[in-house]
Each structure stands twice: as C-alpha cells, then as structure tokens.
Amino acid sequence: MLDKNLINVLSKIYKYENSKYDFDKKVKVYQTPNNLTEKQKELLEASNFELNRIREHNHDQVIKELKGITENPDLEHIVSNLFIKAVGAGLKRGIQPIFSYYFAKNMPLHDFNPFIKKGYQMENTCKICGMKNRMWGNDSKNLYDLYIGYCRLGGYAEMLLDLKEVVAFENVTATNDEKNIFLKVIDLIGKAPKDEVPSQLIKRLSKEKCLPGSNNTSRIWVVKCLAELGILRNSYSNNYSIMNPFIPYEQKWEWENDIHKKSPPRADVEFPISAWRGKLGVNREFAKRIMTSAKIA
C-alpha cells in the first residue's frame, strides 16, 4: 500500500489548480505546486511515485486481463477483508476492490459490443459492461483516488488498476472488532425509517459516528458499495448483487433511466443506490457471504 505520508503529499498535488487538461487524450495532467515543504519533496522523490502515468486502455484487453486476474485463488479473501476493514476501521483503500473483483469475476468474457440507443450518443460504450471502447486515463491520479475512498462503481478500466495492486497485498485480515463494527453498521442501516433516502442514511451514519476513521467522501462510497453488493436492497431487483450472476449494463441503464423519469429534474441519480429506501431494509445474506469469504484463505 502507498504510505500515508505520501498520500498526504499527493493530496496537495492532485488539485484542480495544479492541473492542465489534455484535450486530445481527455485527461488531466498535474504539476508539483510550489507549496510543498522540503521534507515533502524529499518524500515524493524517495517514493519514486510517477505523478502522471498516462495510458490508453482498450476495452477488449482490459476485459481479458480482468478475467485473468480473478483466477487468483486468494483475491476473494483479500477483497472481503479489505471491505470489512473499510467499514470497521476506515481503510479507504478497502472500499473499491470488492466491487472490482465481483464485477470482473461474474462478467462474461466478451468483445466490445456498442450500446445503440435511439436519441442517445453511446456508441463508444459497451452494452454488456458499460466500459468505453478506447479511453485514456491518468493511472497515477486514479490510484490516488482509490486511496482516499473515491470509487469507480461501474465499467471502468480503473478496476484493473485496482485489482493489480491489491492482489499483491499481504496479511490483510480484518480483526474481530472490525467485523463486529461491520455487522453493527448493517444492523443500524436495517433500522432505517421507512421513508429514509440514501442522503439521509449517510447523514445518520455520520451522526451516529459508527464508521470509525471515515469522512463524508468515504461514507458516501461505502453506502454506494453496500447497494452494489445487495446489502442495501433496491426496488427494481430484490436479489440484486454484483456477487450474483452478472446483469448487463443495458439493463442497469434502463433501470437508472426509469429512476430519472420519477425524480426531480436536477436529482443526482445512480442505480442501484437511488432505488433504495428505508422500508426495503438490508439483505444480511450478502453480508454473511462476505464474512465467510474473509475467513477462507
């Protein structure tokens, strides 16, 4: 894992005011600001961290690599423990991997298949996984985002960046205290008022101070990931979970589009989290599956 002190240095670098936009590749490139201390400059240099690793990602190649990496027998154990630690100890780097793993594991091996929808410009998006056919990315900045708890819950090449790093993590084991907190958080969510919406849930979790080491960003993404895992139920598919058989992007798009039609014009809509309400409660079976996978090495 990246050193915490390095993350603090990177947080001063990866800011809008330090960026320039590459219009050809559609990515931001960052420059080192003048406000770094000498100690921070030395730490950055000693880390050999490349600030702008710009790479082009091809859909078909990314899919093949994702399918290959999920064959590692230890990966499910690693991502399960990481997520429990994300909830139970505030390990922000632990939020994304469980989504990346199950998305990649359950996704069929496929070539790019354009999503053609009348009235929408989506020909560069795959109707199966939602990933772009070709895309450039700043892998360095994207990796930093994962360390601060900002996730990519969908068809993104960043899933490969994510899993390539975590597959090498060693001795990732959630403690009993972290497991207990994980289960207590799920119990707390299950006691939601019937009309509670996701934004109110996030505020309630913050008020209850039940997510140690969290901040607003990580709380948002933990809740979104819980919805993807199916622990937070949604009104469209009662047994929805990325841990279950794969649901193609075009189906998720239809559900999300339906939510848009029922929501205020400026509402920020995302499936599945936007389809959760307190009355739907939680599905503890998926939490049990995560706990079981965390035990099996």
**Domain boundaries along the sequence of the chain:** 4-166, 176-295
- Under-70 pLDDT residues of the chain: 121, 296-297
The answer for residues whose C-beta is within 8 angstroms of residue 72's C-beta and 6 or more apart is 167
Instruction: State the Cα–Cα distance between residues 232 and 195, nearest whole angstrom.
Output: 14
pLDDT of residue 297: 56
How far is 228 from 106, CA to CA, in rounded Å? 13
Residue 70's pLDDT is what? 97
Q: Locate tokens 């005011």: which residue? A: 17
What is the number of other CB atoms lying within 10 angstroms of the CB of residue 4?
8
123 token code pair: 């020909």
Contacts of residue 49, Cβ cutoff 8 Å, sequence gap at least 6: 2, 6, 10, 140
Q: What was the pLDDT predicted at 197? A: 95
CB contact at 8 A, 241 and 230? yes
Q: Does the CA dihedral 44-151-165-109 come out positive or negative?
A: negative
Look up the pTM and report it: 0.95
pLDDT at res. 149: 96
Q: 115: how many CB neighbours lie within 10 A of its CB? A: 18
For position 266, what pLDDT does the model report? 77
Q: 149: which residues sit within 8 A by CB, 6+ positions away?
A: 86, 92, 93, 95, 215, 217, 218, 221, 222
Per-residue tokens: 179:
């497991």
Chain centre to alpha carbon of residue 83? 11
Give the CA distances from residue 208 to residues 176, 202, 203, 280, in Å, rounded to whole numbers and listed in that order: 21, 10, 9, 21
> What pLDDT, on a 0 to 100 scale, did the predictor assign at position 263?
86
pLDDT for the residue 85? 98
pLDDT the model gives residue 216: 96
Q: Please write down the HEC assignment for all residues of the chain.
A: CCCHHHHHHHHHHCCHHHEEEECCCCEEEECCCCCCCHHHHHHHHHHCCCCCCEEEEEHHHHHHHHHHHCCCCCHHHHHHHHHHHHHHHCCHHHCHHHHHHHHHHHCCCCCCCECCECCECCCCEECCCCCECEEEEEHHHHHHHHHCCCCCCCCCCHHHHHHHHHCCCCCCCCCHHHHHHHHHHHHHHHCCCCCCCHHHHHHHHHHHCCCCCCCHHHHHHHHHHHHHCCCECCCCCCCCCCCCCCCCHHHHHHHHHHHHHHCCCCCCCCCCHHHCCHHHCECHHHHHHHHHHHHCC
Tokens of 198: 């996701």
The overall longest dimension of the chain from CA atoms, in Å, is: 56
